[in-house]
Amino acid sequence: MLKLWKWYQNCLTVHPVKTQIISSGLIWGFGDIAAQTITHYTAKRQSQIQGDGEDKEKEIKINWKRVGTTSLFGFGFVGPVGHYWYEGLDRYIRLRLMLQPNSFRFVATKVAVDGIIFGPLDLLVFFTYMGFSTGKSVPQIKEDVKRDFLPALILEGGIWPIVQVANFRFIPVRYQLLYVNFFCLLDSCFLSWLEQQQDAPWKQWVKSLLSSKEQKGQGG
- The angle formed by the CA atoms of residues 8, 12 and 16, to the nearest 5 degrees, is 145
What is this structure's pTM? 0.78
Stated length of the chain: 220
Maximum CA extent, the chain = 64
Give the whole-angstrom CA distance, residue 191 versus residue 119. Answer: 13
Asked if residues 88 and 110 have their Cβ atoms less than 8 Å apart, the reply is no
Coil, strand or helix: which one is 96?
coil
Residue type for position 205: W
pLDDT in tens, the chain (220 residues): 788 899 999 999 999 999 999 999 998 888 888 888 877 777 777 666 666 555 555 678 899 998 999 899 999 999 999 999 999 999 999 999 999 998 999 999 999 999 999 999 998 998 899 899 989 999 999 998 888 888 888 878 888 899 999 999 999 999 999 899 888 777 766 666 666 655 555 556 556 665 665 556 555 5
